[in-house]
């Protein structure tokens, strides 16, 4: 098992997070976390509840300001950049809990996602989103708040795609979803990645995350403690015991 204490800066990476720390009300949520994501990768960040996974994503998207460390995206430093400008650079987050606008229609929610373009070329049209998630086409005029949890998750992903992400951040996309819907969502994510979209996934369902991704980082108590190819981590007895459950297999 590969224990990680520090990840040096990688000039070739799309995203480099170096020694990132963050705190809420004096409580340290991140303690020098480091990771890299290269263009075209599908990378997972797994770990127990309260480990700092969502905090790290919120730092990347500008929602939380780190107390120390560096975030470089496409060669530019993001620490201190406002969330709306982070999105305009092509780093877009699908938040935990989906956070669709319940009183607006599916179509209106998707259209709002395009506000992140800010002059960049659109790579995901409504037609492309509808092809990925046909239910959104069927219910385009339905209020988003009346959709099922799985349909709202598809809508949240589609809304982020409308902003033409260079890197898509996903925070717990399987949370509260039925197993069959989880499978559909992860199939869509794998398809998007196969088409060239770079994805960083935070996921409590570690088994599903390791099945879907190329590489993974394990975070615990605000620090990245393991990293490696997802298949290798899924086969590591210590990772299985501590993060996948005793006797569990990621297959």
Kindly list the structural domains of the chain, giving each domain's residue range(s) and its CATH number in brackets, ordered by start. 15-98+166-244 (3.40.50.300)
The whole-number pLDDT of residue 246 equals 38
CB–CB of 94/151 below 8 Å?
no
> Across-strand partners of 35?
17
The whole-number pLDDT of residue 25 equals 78
Q: How far is CA 30 from the centre of its chain?
A: 17
The whole-number pLDDT of residue 245 equals 60
Q: How far is CA 222 from the centre of its chain?
A: 17
Q: In what order do the strands lie in the sheet with 68-73?
A: 27-37, 15-24, 68-73, 76-77
Integer CA distances (angstroms), 21 to 6, 56, 67, 90, in order? 13, 9, 6, 23
The whole-number pLDDT of residue 24 equals 83
Q: What is the pLDDT of residues 6-27, one digit of tens each?
A: 444 566 899 999 999 999 877 8
- Residue 226: closest CA among 19, 56, 46: 46
> Is the alpha carbon torsion for 218, 223, 228, 233 positive or negative?
negative
Annotate 216-248 with b (16+ C-beta within 10 A) or e (fewer). bbbbbebbbbbbbebbebbebeebbebbbeeee
Mean pLDDT score across all residues of the chain: 89
The whole-number pLDDT of residue 10 equals 65
In degrees, to the nearest 5, what angle opens at C-alpha 88 toward C-alphas 85 and 93?
A: 90
Residues of the chain predicted below pLDDT 50: 1-8, 246-251
Q: What is the pLDDT of residues 199-220, one digit of tens each?
A: 999 998 899 999 999 999 999 9
Percent of the chain at pLDDT above 90?
Answer: 76
The whole-number pLDDT of residue 6 equals 41
Structure token digits, residue 31:
């303690």
């Amino acid at each position: 098992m590969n224990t990680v204490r520090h990840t040096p800066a990688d000039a070739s990476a799309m995203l480099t997070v170096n020694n990132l720390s963050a705190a809420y009300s004096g409580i340290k949520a991140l303690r020098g976390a480091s990771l890299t994501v290269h263009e075209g990768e599908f990378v997972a960040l797994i770990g127990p509840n309260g480990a700092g996974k969502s905090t790290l994503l919120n730092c990347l998207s500008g929602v939380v300001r780190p107390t120390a460390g560096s975030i470089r995206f496409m060669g530019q430093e993001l620490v201190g950049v406002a969330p709306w400008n982070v999105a305009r650079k092509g780093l877009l987050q699908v938040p935990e809990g989906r956070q669709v606008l319940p009183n607006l229609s599916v179509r209106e929610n998707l259209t709002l996602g395009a506000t992140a373009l800010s002059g960049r070329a659109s790579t995901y049209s409504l037609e492309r989103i509808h092809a990925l998630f046909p239910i959104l086409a069927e219910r385009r005029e339905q209020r988003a708040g009346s959709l099922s949890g799985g349909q709202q998750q598809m809508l949240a992903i589609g809304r982020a795609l409308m902003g033409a992400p260079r890197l898509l951040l996903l925070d717990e996309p399987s949370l509260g979803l039925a197993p069959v819907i989880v499978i559909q969502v992860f199939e869509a994510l794998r398809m998007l990645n196969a088409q060239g979209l770079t994805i960083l996934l935070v996921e409590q369902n570690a088994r599903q995350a390791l099945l879907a991704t190329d590489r993974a980082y394990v975070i615990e108590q605000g620090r990245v403690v393991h990293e490696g190819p997802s298949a290798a981590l899924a086969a590591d007895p210590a990772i299985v015991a501590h993060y996948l459950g005793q006797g569990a297999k990621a297959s």
